[in-house]
Amino acid sequence: MSDLKNLIGDIVASPLGQVIAQVGQGVADAQEALDEASLAKVLEIYAEGDDEKLALLREIGYRPTFYTLPDTTGEVRVALRLGNGAQGAGKSVRPVSPVVKAVPARLGLNALSARMYAAPVDAGYANTYGYQADISAKLTFRIVPVPPPDGADELRQVPDLSTRTIPAARTALEALGLEAAFVDASGTAIATPDETHVVTAQSPAANAIARMEDTVTLTIAAPT
């Protein structure tokens, strides 16, 4: 019995488990790629830039489409055939030690006249008796558009404001729906900054992800 289990395991179990694992991982990777592409489009639209097309999309409130894999179906077909093939026709079957003996249990049948033997398969056995084992897999899936996640269109990519004047920095943030707060080099808040000063540092940093109406703290100083 152990030899038969090993045979079935070699033919079916390991590939089947591998297929299931790979399908699951593949679906997860595909969904992640779809989400990342849609999110990147959101950030592109709501990022600072002079692209007129993106500016128009931003003005009309365009929201990029997100996609999802609602269901994925995996099908593994296993076909086994054991018997006399073309190469084994007309040849006597070599004696093998019975690994499994199947005996009909229903009454009225002669238990001694019906036996089925299974033996480990090697290259010689396959060539002689036409043994074949085929495994195939089929994967079907659907990709459908879904509404963007709540808050996705509120994401903003913080622009690089270093060395900009206060009016220029404020204008860039307002265009993205972000607020500006000003501090000096020691971190003390400045309620009415000198408009001639420039930005020397910022928090969050450039290219960080913020949400609409978030505050970007700008450290300012007199230009050198």
Residue 157 to residue 45: CA distance in whole angstroms: 10
Cα separation of 135 and 39, whole Å? 39
Contacts with 31 (C-beta within 8 Å, 6 or more apart), sequence order = 68, 69
Residues 168-216: tens digit of each pLDDT:
999 999 988 999 999 999 999 999 999 999 999 999 999 999 999 999 9
Low-confidence ranges of the chain (pLDDT < 70): 1-17, 19, 74-126, 128-139
Domains of the chain: 2-146 (no CATH), 158-221 (3.30.10.20)
9 C-beta neighbours (distance < 10 Å), count: 11
pTM for the whole structure: 0.54
pLDDT of the residue at 132: 61
pLDDT value of position 1: 52
108 phi-psi bin (left φ>0, alpha ψ -120 to 50, beta other): left
Q: Would you say 54 and 45 are in contact if contact means Cβ atoms under 8 Å apart?
A: yes
Q: Tell me, what's the pLDDT at 51?
A: 78
Q: Which residue has the tokens 């269901």?
A: 71
What pLDDT shows up at residue 215?
96
